[in-house]
Amino acid sequence: MSTALINARVLLDAGWRDDCAVLIEGARISTILAHDDPRVTAADHHHDLKGNVLVPGFIDVQVNGGGGVLFNDAPTLDSIRRIGAAHRRFGTTGFLPTLVSDEIDVMRAAIGAVQAAIDDGVPGVLGIHLEGPYIAAAKRGAHDAARFRLPDTEEFELVCSLRGGRTVLTLAPEQATPDLVRAFSARGVIVSLGHSNASYEQARAALDAGASGFTHLFNAMSALQGRSPGMVGAALEDAASWVGIIVDGHHVHPASLRVARAAKAHGKLILVTDAMPPVGADDGDFMLAGQRVITRNGRCENEQGSLAGSALDMAGALRNSIAWLGVDLDEATRMASTWPAQFLGLGATHGRIEAGWMADLVELDGDLQVQRSWIAGFASN
């Protein structure tokens, strides 16, 4: 069965096209056609986008919860389905359920649930993000420091055990040695640095050992100073690594984000939400690590006043990036889709509207509100 998406402004690798149709066969994009090509008329189904924008689906590598569900509290297949459905309303067609620092039994349940989701073909599940527990108490944020540790052999194997998906692991390089970073990287784990008070030299050693990303730049990491570049300095200087940014107006001042965009190598800045249960839910308050988190005006804050994730969705992050970072829709979309796909090693299958790529797509109206999405060729409505 074939589906033709017609009458859209389409973002291709070469730029915007207003005179083409996107043909989907099964789970993938089969070809990009001139709008008057006979194969468009011959398609089994047609979706008329009526001049709206069609972009690659958003990929969020840090999703703690959504739809009223916190993954740590309910690391189950059903929770993943609910979280994915909540975020899909905001254009997220690929995501990593994210587990903040927890005990090994919870980690085992979370990895097992993600494995089941991948095996069952739950829409959008690309792997798991383990944010800790190999992080530093000095930059714990809302994490429970009582759960911090280093892995033994059993836990190391558990972290490396996911099949058919990507595993991102956030760790602090002053806690985990370069040898441990190297060992995880050799097993295919994507090591991201964060929740760390590491020196520039410690961060640089972790990068040299195989780390390839930084978790929510500026937040819960050693700052850039004149004589002490810290983790932020290492992140901005390194040309090969990716950095996640939370563009919600609470985590990072827009001016700092603009500095990061100017300093970081092009194509290495990616949007993340660090989303919590309020996304796609009516109730904004929830429990995290035994503390109540209150959500007011889009800010999630625990009893100590620390930020505890966000109420941000990816469509909101895209709009905020255009408004505050001064990027155009083309670049904001690549920050939300193309470059996260590359960070995950999925750049040859996800994050672009090109023949052969997965048919993970988002339709946006003139106000950049999500109207419809496709995951593996299936439309949301």
pLDDT of residue 291: 83
Answer yes or no: are the C-beta atoms of 271 and 340 closer than 8 Å. yes
> Which homologous superfamily is 58-343 in?
Metal-dependent hydrolases (3.20.20.140)
pLDDT of residue 241: 98
DSSP-derived pairing of the beta strands 69-70 and 65-66: antiparallel
pLDDT of residue 129: 98
Q: Which of 246, 235, 240 is nearest to 271 (CA)?
A: 246
Answer yes or no: are the C-beta atoms of 129 and 97 closer than 8 Å. yes
CATH fit for domain 2-55+353-379, picks 2.30.40.10, 2.160.20.60, 1.10.15.40, 2.60.40.420: 2.30.40.10
pLDDT of residue 283: 78
Q: Which of 250, 255, 225, 241 is nearest to 305 (CA)?
A: 250
Structure tokens at 160: 């490396």
Q: How far apart are CA 29 and CA 361, in angstroms?
A: 10
pLDDT of residue 132: 97
Residues 303-317 as b or e (16 or more Cβ within 10 Å = b): eeeebbbbbbbbbbb
18 tagged catalytic = no
Task: Give every CB contact of residue 337 below 8 A, 6+ residues apart in sequence.
Answer: 55, 56, 57, 58, 59, 350, 351, 352
- The domain ranges of the chain are 2-55+353-379, 58-343
Encode the chain (381 residues) as per-residue pLDDT tens digits.
Answer: 899 999 999 999 999 999 999 999 999 999 999 999 999 999 999 999 999 999 999 999 999 999 999 999 999 999 999 999 999 999 999 999 999 999 999 999 999 999 999 999 999 999 999 999 999 999 998 899 999 999 999 999 999 999 999 999 999 999 999 999 999 999 999 999 999 999 999 999 999 999 999 999 999 999 999 999 999 999 999 999 999 999 999 999 999 999 999 999 999 999 999 999 999 998 778 988 788 889 988 899 888 888 888 999 999 999 999 999 999 999 999 999 999 999 999 999 999 999 999 999 999 999 999 999 999 999 997
pLDDT of residue 288: 83
pTM of the predicted model, to two decimals? 0.97
pLDDT of residue 349: 98
* Catalytic-labelled residue, pool 238, 274, 313, 360: 274
pLDDT of residue 176: 96
Q: How far apart are CA 84 and CA 307, in angstroms?
A: 23
